[in-house]
Amino acid sequence: METIQSTVEQPKKKTLPIIGGIGFTFFIALIGWGLAMLPGFQKLGPMALAIILAIVYRQIWEYPISISTGIQFSAKILLRMAIVLYGLRLNIQLIIQDGLGLIAIDGFVILFAIGVTMFISKRMKADPSISLLVGIGTGVCGAAAIAAVSPILKSKDEDTAISVGLIALIGTIFALLYSFLFPLLPIDDQSYGIWSGISLHELAHVALAAGAAGQDALAVGLLAKLGRVFLLIPLSFILIYLEKRKGVNNEKTKIAFPWFLIGFVVMSVLGSYIRAYNPMKLQNLLDPIANVSSFLLTMAMVGLGLNIHLQQVRKKALKPLATLIITSFLLSIITVFIAEIV
């Protein structure tokens, strides 16, 4: 009887800490979403607020070791689930119909952002892991891109969290700066929308900036941005190939295939099909599921943020921050001329 009882209680002992850790990240993420609805905090967005709360909490208090398993579950498993669901946001059919002309520009933006970031980071002797992540985040789609490639690059949770925080901060500042500059620039609404879509970091940043010029500018801005999200797929497989090439010279390096990317692709195709044909009125579910994916991603960012010790990373983050600012500034200048030509 004792043996049977111990085997029954053992799964409970393992399950409860996981639930507790997930619940803890859920609670902080919920606070972040609540703050994002208040005046003055709306510009930052729930993800940035939640990760800031998590980082601040970790500097003041220690969370119980017993719930660390659940926190790691949020940081890793929920992160992959969120990326899979994030694929529903991508309307491939819309990109093929109206956005093919922007794909080449989006490809240039990604190469420029990553290339310039790595070039500057080498000159400044910045941390290469964080610099690569912020370069990818700048070029593609912010935190979602960083979350997608960090398992491929085997980035430390700490580096991933720092990169997401930097992107959220600088992306928000640039989005607000765009909104302020729009009335002062000799550029029409559509060109401004394209400029926002091909240069800003997150979908939320594009929506914030392009929305200042009206619905038409917002539509074309989001279309341009979705092209960059679409290119996350080939970029991820290129990174897998490059990492495996490194592994040829290093037998200890093993790259586990990121199956969640297949889920991302499948969801992208499924979402595009639903938008085109709306079988059983499933299109009504896309927005709620998108909100769920955003909340799961926020919980994952909380899990990552709870692993950050500011005293240890302060020096590590300053140079990548400077690199990110310079790259974002150069990207904005170049793309504003491209947007006018398009």
| pTM recorded for the entire structure | 0.81
Cβ–Cβ < 8 Å for 93, 270: no
The pLDDT assigned to 34 comes to 93
CB atoms within 10 A of CB 253: 13
CA neighbor of 265 nearest in space, from 78, 142, 88, 76? 88
Residues of the chain scoring pLDDT < 50: 1-9
The pLDDT assigned to 7 comes to 42
DSSP state of 186: S
The pLDDT assigned to 311 comes to 67
CB atoms within 10 A of CB 66: 12
CA–CA separation, 14 vs 91, rounded Å? 40
CA–CA separation, 311 vs 301, rounded Å? 19
CA–CA separation, 201 vs 6, rounded Å? 51
The pLDDT assigned to 8 comes to 43
Burial 11-47 (b: 16+ CB within 10 A, else e): eeeeeebbebbbebbbebbbbbbebbeeeeeebbbbb
CB atoms within 10 A of CB 2: 6
The pLDDT assigned to 6 comes to 43
What are the φ/ψ torsions at residue 201 (nearest 5 degrees)?
Answer: -80, -55
